[in-house]
Each structure stands twice: as C-alpha cells, then as structure tokens.
Amino acid sequence: MMYDVLIIGGGAAGFYAAIHVAEADPNLKVAILERGKEVLGKVKVSGGGRCNVTHAEFDPNQLVKNYPRGQKELLGPFYSYGSGDTVAFFEERGIPLKIEPDGRMFPQSNSSQTIIDCFVGETERLGIQVLRNSAVTDIAHIQPVAELPEGGWSVQSIRNTYRTKKLLVASGSNPKIWKLLEGLGHTIVPPVPSLFTFNIQDDRIAGIPGVSTEAKVTVIAKRTTGIGPLQSLKSSSNPILLESEGPLLITHWGMSGPAILKLSAWGAQILNGLHYKFKIKVNWLPEYHTEGILQLLLQVKEIESKKTVLRTHAVELPKRLWINLVKATGIPDDLKWADISKSQLQDLAFQLTQCEFTVDGKSTFKEEFVTAGGVDLKEINFKTYESKILPNLFFAGEIMDVDAITGGFNFQNAWTGAFIAAKGIVGG
Ligand SMILES: Cc1cc2nc3c(=O)[nH]c(=O)nc-3n(C[C@H](O)[C@H](O)[C@H](O)COP(=O)(O)OP(=O)(O)OC[C@H]3O[C@@H](n4cnc5c(N)ncnc54)[C@H](O)[C@@H]3O)c2cc1C
C-alpha cells in the first residue's frame, strides 16, 4: 500500500499534523496508524477530562520558559506557530476556548470530547484514513527507486506493510518506537518521568491534606547517593534549577501543587539520579528570611503576650499548618507569647522558613504527566521538524526530548511541532 504521508500515532500531534497536511494539499494520500482501538486516548483524559489545550501566554520569549527541555529549540517554532494560532485553529472550527485565572485554556464546553470530536470530524472531512489497531512494529528506509524517486519509508504494522514518501513519527513516549529509531541511527535521550508529586511522611504535614499555601521549595544536597547530579546542580550557572516558588498543596501522600510540579519537571533527570530520595527545604513565608521572621515573631511576642502561641494568627499561614509547625518545635499548647524563650522563637522561625523534609519516592500527578527524554533535539531541524540524519522522516510531540511544566504547554508543543512538520512535509 502506497501513501504520500504516513503518520505513526493517533494522538494529539498525529491528528493535528494530518489535518494540516491534508488541508495544505488535499490531493495527498494520508493515513494515521494507531496501535490502540481508540484514538486520542491522552487527549480524552487530559486536564482531568477537560483538556487543558494551551496556555494564554502569547509571547514566544515567555512561552519557552515553561519548557525544561526544548526551551532553546522551541523559540523559533513558537514565533511561527504559538498559543494564539492554537486558539484560532479551534475557534475557526467552532470551539471557543476560555482562560482560567492561572492562564490555562480549556474548551468552553469543559470537555475533552469536544476536541476529539473536532479532530475525528476533520479527518473524515479531509479524507484522512485513520487505521486503528495498527501497532507499528518496524520502520525501514527505502532508497530512491523508480516508484519512489526521492526514496521513502516502509512501515510495518501488525496488520500490513505500507510504503510512504514521507513519514511523521508522533508516537509519544513509546519505548518500542524509540528503539526502532535508535536502530536507524537516532540518539534517544534516556526517558525519565516528569511532572510528579513528592511522597513525604512527616507529622508537620500529617492530617492536613488539602491545605495550600504559597511557598519556596529548594532541593538540598544532603545525601551522598547520586552525588554526581547534585554536584552538577551546585555548580550549575542556573541557580533556579532546583528551587521553585508558587502554591504548594499538602496531600495525603506528601506535597503537590505548582511549586512541587515545577521542581519535578526542571529536576526530572537529577531527581531520577537520586532515585527520588532526597531532602527539601520549604520556606512557608517566602517573602521572609529567617532573621526577618524572627523580628516579626518578637513583635508578636510584645503585642500578643497574653495569648497562646498555638492559637494566635501570628503570620499569613493556614491555621492548621501553623498549629502543626508550632507543635513540631515542641512548644506546649498552653504556652503564652510572654513566656516563649529565645531558643523557642528561633526554632519557630526556622520551622517557618527553613523547614526540612525527607522525600521518599514520587506519585503520579493525575491531571497531567509526561516523560522527559526522547529523540535528541540536536538531530532535528526545527524549521521543518525533519530528521537531520534521515531524509523524509519527521517528528512531532512527546517523542522528542521536549517536555513542559503543567498548564497546557505540553499540548502546545504537540500543536506547534505538528503544524510545522505538516508544512515541512507538504513544502519539501
Ligand atoms: C493523564 C494526562 C493528562 C494530561 N493532561 C494534559 C493537559 O491537560 N494539557 C497538556 O498540555 N498536556 C497534558 N498531558 C500531556 C499530553 O497529553 C502529551 O504531552 C501529549 O498527548 C503528547 O502528544 P503526542 O501526540 O506526542 O503523544 P500521544 O498523545 O501520547 O499520542 C501518541 C499516540 O501514538 C500511539 N502509538 C504509540 N506507539 C505506537 C505504535 N507502535 N504504533 C502505532 N501507534 C502508536 C499511542 O497509542 C498514542 O495514541 C497529559 C498527559 C497525561 C498522561
């Protein structure tokens, strides 16, 4: 079976690319090969079933800052096709998006099914074949022959063998396809999880799941295991690499929320090297240093001298967290501010600004999780998303060593890559 364009992977990037290829040149014979019975499985579950399509960040220079891997390479592509273009794509197809206060964008319907219906409808309208239950098992390059003067690709699925002039690989984080690409000469950056939450068992956060507060979190190098990555962290010229600030959510298992998820993404490789066992320091009042909070507590001691430490709303912190931190210092429940000692004040200031926790493992962030690693970015031409190693081979989406923090940025990578790859395929 001969095609002009074959796409491996019926996910976000695969569908988006197929639609743009077929729109740009309706005469091309295009097919998507999807291993599953259903297509767009991740889109379906994304964003808690609402699909966080993109982020309301329309400046490419700002947008790239959300990509721990791909930051440099995506700048040009985002100038060509950014979040605004994604919004326009969906609006032109009758799917208005809405912006949430934190910048995340969702379909107004609040349902990922709207996006799936749009994509599937578009493939039908444009005559794109969607071949389900068609797991790809092999890929081979075809040298130029009479039938394929520019060469092409032979793709074997569990059902059939196909030949195509151009091949787009959009199979997401799939080890089998990475292995096939490695066999063809591509370098695969070893995959590690990104976007996860931290497992922590500690009395100071026990019994208060759901409490959320602004915090600064720093990974600290206390353990000797995995010293290699931590040394490189310490000597890094980028000091924010493993420090983040933002809302921190206490969960049943430990900590989550943007402050933690950002760390998990930026530190994906380092934390993997530590086997997800390390220490963190939390400043629960990020606008203060320890000395500053000590001064503040001394003022509270003066003003609130007759009140108990435990029951005073001394600082801007959720009440239940304050109680846990006060208890952690060993301050008795009935101790009044008038009677607090200097060392107790220091302990409290320390708990508030340099609160150390031991992380012991990670958990999946259910709203969104991605894999760092994939096809080495040095081997991709970001003007066309074509392989620099093999002709007529293109990539888009999570298969590449690109990933982002949570917020709609991972899909934006898929849309941008798919659009530019489609242009590269049709134009080349
Ligand atoms: C639970 C969850 C929620 C998420 N929510 C969000 C969100 O709200 N916003 C956001 O920006 N990102 C989100 N993400 C991340 C986002 O889903 C991915 O970054 C995005 O789907 C990547 O698109 P892709 O097309 O590269 O890969 P995928 O969407 O994973 O598609 C790859 C497709 O290729 C198919 N495939 C794999 N191997 C083969 C093979 N051998 N033969 C044929 N087909 C194959 C797979 O079955 C799959 O359908 C979420 C991820 C998860 C897991």
Digit-coded pLDDT (tens) for 297-351: 999 999 999 999 999 989 999 999 999 999 999 999 999 999 999 999 999 999 9
Q: Atom 38 (ligand 1): residue with closest C-alpha?
A: 171
Within 6 A (CB) of ligand 1 lie: 8-14, 33-36, 41-42, 45-47, 51-52, 135-136, 170-172, 174, 176-177, 367-370, 397-399, 408-411, 414
State which ligand 1 atom lies nearest to the alpha carbon of 171: 34
Contact 158, 135 (CB under 8 A): yes
Amino acid residing at 188 = I
Q: For residue 290, what pLDDT band results from cuts at 50, 70 and 90? A: very high
Residue, of 180 and 221, whose pLDDT is higher: 180
Find the DSSP H helices in 254-396. 258-266, 268-273, 290-303, 319-328, 342-353
For ligand 1, pick from 33, 46, 367 the residue to mutate: most ligand atoms within 8 Å of CB.
Answer: 46
Provide CB contacts within 8 A for 227, sequence distance 6+.
221
pLDDT at 222 exceeding the cut of 80: no
pLDDT at 241 exceeding the cut of 70: no
Per-residue pLDDT, averaged over 260-272, amounts to 95
State which ligand 1 atom lies nearest to the alpha carbon of 16: 25
Cross-strand bridge partners of residue 393: 167
What is the helix (H) or strand (E) element at residue 62, kind and residue range? helix 60-63
Q: Strand 355-360 vs strand 362-364: parallel, antiparallel, or unpaired?
A: unpaired
Backbone φ and ψ of 323, nearest 5°: -60, -45
pLDDT at 373 exceeding the cut of 60: yes
CA 379 to centroid of ligand 1, rounded, Å: 22
DSSP string, 30-50: EEEE-SSSSS-HHHHHHHHHT
pLDDT at 235 exceeding the cut of 90: no
CA 42 to centroid of ligand 1, rounded, Å: 5
CA 241 to centroid of ligand 1, rounded, Å: 26
Q: Atom 2 (ligand 1): residue with closest C-alpha?
A: 368
Q: What is the pLDDT of residue 366?
A: 84
Per-residue pLDDT, averaged over 232-250, amounts to 67
For ligand 1, pick from 130, 410, 415, 420 the residue to mutate: most ligand atoms within 8 Å of CB.
Answer: 410
Q: What is the pLDDT of residue 267?
A: 94
CA 194 to centroid of ligand 1, rounded, Å: 14
Q: How crowded is residue 46: how many other Cβ atoms within 10 Å of its Cβ?
A: 22
CA 170 to centroid of ligand 1, rounded, Å: 9
Q: Strand 129-131 vs strand 97-99: parallel, antiparallel, or unpaired?
A: unpaired
Contact 30, 337 (CB under 8 A): no
Query: Using one digit for the tens of pLDDT, what is the confidence trace for 123-155?
Result: 999 999 999 999 999 999 999 988 888 899 999
Among 199-208, 237-246, 347-356, 382-391, the least confident range:
237-246
Contact 9, 170 (CB under 8 A): yes
CA 61 to centroid of ligand 1, rounded, Å: 25
Average pLDDT, the chain: 94
Residue with tokens 């063809």: 184
**How far, rounded to the nearest angstrom, does the alpha carbon of residue 172 sit from its chain's CA centroid?**
13
Per-residue pLDDT, averaged over 48-52, amounts to 96
Provide CB contacts within 8 A for 32, sequence distance 6+.
7, 9, 10, 14, 15, 18, 39, 123, 128, 129, 130, 131
Q: Atom 52 (ligand 1): residue with closest C-alpha?
A: 368
CA 372 to centroid of ligand 1, rounded, Å: 13
- Nearest 5°: the CA angle 176, 178, 179 is 65
pLDDT at 371 exceeding the cut of 90: yes
pLDDT at 236 exceeding the cut of 50: no
State which ligand 1 atom lies nearest to the alpha carbon of 409: 11
Contact 361, 277 (CB under 8 A): yes
**Residue 101 three-state SS:** coil
Cross-strand bridge partners of residue 175: none
Task: Please give the Cα distance from 365 to 96 (Å, whole number).
Answer: 27
Q: For residue 120, what pLDDT band results from cuts at 50, 70 and 90? A: very high
Per-residue pLDDT, averaged over 421-427, amounts to 97
CA 352 to centroid of ligand 1, rounded, Å: 40
For ligand 1, pick from 32, 368, 394, 405 the residue to mutate: most ligand atoms within 8 Å of CB.
Answer: 368
pLDDT at 226 exceeding the cut of 90: no
**Could you give the C-alpha distances from 321 to 10, 299, 367, in angstroms and in order?**
45, 21, 25
For ligand 1, pick from 6, 20, 42 the residue to mutate: most ligand atoms within 8 Å of CB.
Answer: 42
Query: Using one digit for the tens of pLDDT, what is the confidence trace for 272-288?
Result: 999 999 999 999 999 99
Q: For residue 221, what pLDDT band results from cuts at 50, 70 and 90? A: low
pLDDT at 232 exceeding the cut of 70: no
CA 66 to centroid of ligand 1, rounded, Å: 18
Q: What is the pLDDT of residue 147?
A: 82
Record the tokens describing residue 46, joined without a space.
Answer: 């994304």
CA 69 to centroid of ligand 1, rounded, Å: 17
Task: Please give the Cα distance from 226 to 270 (Å, whole number).
Answer: 8
- Residue 177, judged by CB atoms within 10 A of its CB (0-12, 13-18, 19+), counts as buried
Contact 414, 395 (CB under 8 A): no
Sign of the four-CA dihedral 41, 47, 49, 51: negative
Per-residue pLDDT, averaged over 405-426, amounts to 97
Percent of the chain with pLDDT over 70: 95
Query: Using one digit for the tens of pLDDT, what is the confidence trace for 11-26?
Result: 999 999 999 999 999 9
Is the pTM higher than 0.85? yes
pLDDT at 10 exceeding the cut of 90: yes
State which ligand 1 atom lies nearest to the alpha carbon of 418: 25
Backbone angle region of 2, left / alpha / beta, with phi > 0 → left and psi within -120 to 50 → alpha = beta
Q: Atom 30 (ligand 1): residue with closest C-alpha?
A: 172
CA 347 to centroid of ligand 1, rounded, Å: 47
Q: What is the pLDDT of residue 220?
A: 84
Task: Please give the Cα distance from 200 to 362 (Å, whole number).
Answer: 9
Q: What is the pLDDT of residue 73?
A: 98
